[in-house]
Amino acid sequence: MAHLAEHGFCFWALEEKESGAFAGSVGLVKVGYEAHFTPAVEVGWRLARAFWGRGYAPEAAIASMGYGFEVFGLSEIVANTAIHNTNSRRVMEKLGMCHDAQDDFDHPRMPEDHPLRRQALYRLSRDRWKVTVLGQ
């Protein structure tokens, strides 16, 4: 709640419409560590495995990014995931986000030998979002 109070956005609960079941969370957060791309706002999602592959992550992420671009006037939103997390990388690509391997980085909060330390960084500008998501 502190992030919401301070920045006006956060991760929100994601509920499945049909069942009302809690599926996970999705939303926007300010990146909380220093990296070559910060300061930045990140879109992210954490879904229970039972809800993977149903299109919930892209649908909710699109709504979250729309909120960031339209309400807060953000010029860019980023997302990152472990290099080998192909499921999340596919979602980022469905969102129209762009990946440049030169942007990949070692997550500063992961130990040096941790298998999730190397992160792929994706970016989406407001202009590209208008074209790819809104069709403008």
The model's pLDDT over 97-112, given as tens digits with 9 standing for 90+, comes to 999 999 999 999 999 9
pLDDT for residue 13: 87
Query: For the range 4-11, what are the long-range contacts, defined as Cβ-Cβ under 8 Å and sequence gap of 24 or more?
Result: 8/71, 8/72, 9/41, 9/64, 9/67, 9/68, 9/72, 11/44, 11/46
Q: Tell the CATH topology of 1-134.
A: Aminopeptidase (3.40.630)
| pTM to 2 decimal places | 0.90
